[in-house]
Amino acid sequence: MGAIPRVSSRLALVVAAAAGSLLTGATEASAQAAEQNPHIEELIEQARQEGSLYLNWSDYGDIIGDWVDGYLETYGLKGEIEVVHTPNPNGTAAFLQLEEEFSAGRPAHTDIMEGAELRTALGISGFRRSGGFLADIDYASLPNVAPAMVKGDGKTVVYAHIMPGISYNTNTVAPEDLPKNIEDYTDPTFLNEYNVASTGQASGFDFLFTEQTWGFERACEFTTRLGAGIAGLIEPHEATRIASGEFDMLIFDQGLRPLQLAASGAPVAITYPEGYTFRRAQHFSIPENAEHKAAAQLFINYMLSPEAQQILYDKYRIDSHDRDGSLSAGTLAQVSEQTGTPTDIDIAFIEQSYMDEIRPAIPLMRGMLTGEYGPDDCAGLAEQVKDGN
């Protein structure tokens, strides 16, 4: 293979520190707006009667306190309702618990389900398309929720967008040495030059195995070529192992952890090569069996407020691209200009592809990364998946 085309400029995490904001003043402005909205006033009264809000999430433990304080202040609920946050390190386990609680007729352990497109889609339609457990809520009536944020037949709200890519250590990898095209990351010369990690869960590979993106055989051939040259497998959330220099880069990274580390000054960035340009969404949904639906709706409305989105961006460098004044929209615009408009991996994408294409491919992906399968096996594996459906 000839010389690998390299990026001419640093198409990586290009985020300037956001201008300081007077969050106290912003919260006061939100509170004044809430007082002028009859629907919000009605929800506030209902929330007082409910008396509590339960949150059981796997992320954002470092900023949830700031959000709760802003929420209570905005709606005048300090001392009137109790917000109970229970950290949950396993979002998948929390989802399965919600499904079990709904089936058994028990109250939901969290009033708001937080998660990406797969869990949300399954919460809407059910694991086997047998009916989900998410409530029909008039999210569009919430003043901070724009129509474009409401998804899944009105059962969920997108509160942030994340762009997956390749994270790398900026001390050991020069941005100009990064290949421009995704296919060149599997070049043996490149893989011999750097200590490259991938994920044991094949995170970021799953949606490539669909006809909407690469198709099974191309995705399989890429994954097996990569697997032949990687230095090891790590967990998707272990971006600190990239920042520490243990590995030079991670293919693929879902984006949240390296953005968080970069915001704190760690030597890690993320790049978006040609051929791998996608956008994922984070959702809030209220379970049908949630006990505090009014308090939950108010919290979701608060989370789409400028001050709550600022808190999210300051720590994680993400927010909603659908919101006027989005702070991360600049990265989206830059990526779109240099590598093309990202494909949205959204609920509609999952509903079309998960059961017949993604789910049967998932058990094979680790073997592709560990050498159990090679490129010559891909045609046969494609037929195996097809016949299994």
In three-state form (DSSP H/G/I as H, E/B as E, the rest C), the secondary structure along the chain is CCCCCECCCCCCCCCCCCCCCCHHHHHHHHHHHHHCCHHHHHHHHHHHHHCEEEECCCCCCCCHHHHHHHHHHHCCCCCCCEEEECCCCCHHHHHHHHHHHHHHCCCCCCCCEEECHHHHHHHHHCCCCCCCCECCCCHHHCCCCCHHHEECCCCEEEEEEECCEEEEECCCCCHHHCECEHHHHHCHHHHHHCCEEEECCCCCCHHHHCCCCCCHHHHHHHHHHHHCCCCEEECCCCCHHHHCCCCCEEEEECCHHHHHHHHCCCCEEEECCECCCEEEEEEEECECCCCCHHHHHHHHHHHCCHHHHHHHHHHHCCCCCCCCCCCCHHHHHHHHHHHCCCEEECHHHHHHHHHHHHHHHHHHHHHHHHCCCCHHHHHHHHHHHHHHC
User: The tokens 């996608």 sit on which residue?
Assistant: 278
Note the pLDDT of residue 151.
94
Helix 359-370 to helix 378-388 angle, to the nearest 10 degrees? 160
Same domain (yes/no): 239, 287: no
Over the stretch 230-241, which tens digit does the pLDDT of each residue have? 999 998 888 999
pLDDT at 83 over 90: yes
Note the pLDDT of residue 32.
57
Q: Is residue 14 in a domain?
A: no
Note the pLDDT of residue 132.
87
C-alpha span between 29 and 308 (Å, rounded): 13
| Lowest-pLDDT choice from 30-34, 101-105, 142-146, 283-287 | 30-34
Note the pLDDT of residue 21.
41
Note the pLDDT of residue 91.
74
C-alpha span between 113 and 287 (Å, rounded): 7
The mean per-residue pLDDT over the stretch 82-110 comes to: 89
Note the pLDDT of residue 124.
84
pLDDT at 11 over 50: no
C-alpha span between 292 and 49 (Å, rounded): 9
Note the pLDDT of residue 147.
95
The mean per-residue pLDDT over the stretch 112-138 comes to: 82
Same domain (yes/no): 171, 147: no
pLDDT at 30 over 70: no
| Lowest-pLDDT choice from 32-36, 86-90, 144-148, 367-371 | 32-36
Q: Is residue 16 in a domain?
A: no
Same domain (yes/no): 201, 328: no
The mean per-residue pLDDT over the stretch 358-374 comes to: 93
Burial class (CB in 10 A: 0-12, 13-18, 19+), 45: exposed
CA dihedral 230, 234, 240, 241 (to 10 degrees): -40
Note the pLDDT of residue 121.
86
Q: Is residue 39 in a domain?
A: yes
Tokens of 7: 């990026």
Same domain (yes/no): 241, 306: no
Burial class (CB in 10 A: 0-12, 13-18, 19+), 171: exposed
Same domain (yes/no): 194, 299: no
C-alpha span between 370 and 228 (Å, rounded): 7
Same domain (yes/no): 37, 95: yes
Mean pLDDT estimate for the chain:
88
Same domain (yes/no): 137, 81: yes
| Lowest-pLDDT choice from 99-108, 140-149, 199-208 | 199-208
Note the pLDDT of residue 136.
94
Domain range for 214 is 165-276+346-388
Question: Is the model more confident about 16 or about 246?
Answer: 246
Q: Is residue 340 in a domain?
A: no
Note the pLDDT of residue 118.
83
The mean per-residue pLDDT over the stretch 302-317 comes to: 95
Same domain (yes/no): 233, 136: no
pLDDT at 172 over 90: yes
Note the pLDDT of residue 25.
54
Q: How confident is the model at residue 24 (pLDDT cuts 50, 70, 90)?
A: low
* β partners of residue 345: 280
Same domain (yes/no): 155, 94: yes
C-alpha span between 359 and 159 (Å, rounded): 26
| Lowest-pLDDT choice from 69-78, 83-92, 98-107 | 83-92
What percentage of the chain carries pLDDT values higher than 90?
68
Check: CB of residue 149 under 8 Å from CB of residue 322. Answer: yes
Check: CB of residue 67 under 8 Å from CB of residue 301. Answer: no
Note the pLDDT of residue 355.
84
Same domain (yes/no): 29, 153: yes
Over the stretch 318-335, which tens digit does the pLDDT of each residue have? 999 999 999 999 989 988
Given its phi and psi angles, is residue 152 left (phi above 0), alpha (psi -120 to 50 degrees) or beta?
A: left
Same domain (yes/no): 191, 294: no
Q: Is residue 9 in a domain?
A: no
Q: Is residue 269 in a domain?
A: yes
| Lowest-pLDDT choice from 27-31, 58-62, 107-111 | 27-31
Q: Is residue 2 in a domain?
A: no
The mean per-residue pLDDT over the stretch 76-91 comes to: 89
Same domain (yes/no): 156, 239: no
The mean per-residue pLDDT over the stretch 104-111 comes to: 96
**CATH number assigned to the domain comprising residue 245:** 3.40.190.10
Q: Is residue 18 in a domain?
A: no
Q: Which of 312, 334, 356 is the last residue of a domain?
A: 334
* Cβ-based neighbour number of residue 15 at 10 Å: 17
Over the stretch 260-309, which tens digit does the pLDDT of each residue have? 898 889 999 999 999 999 999 999 999 999 999 999 999 999 999 999 99
What is the number of domains present in the chain? 2
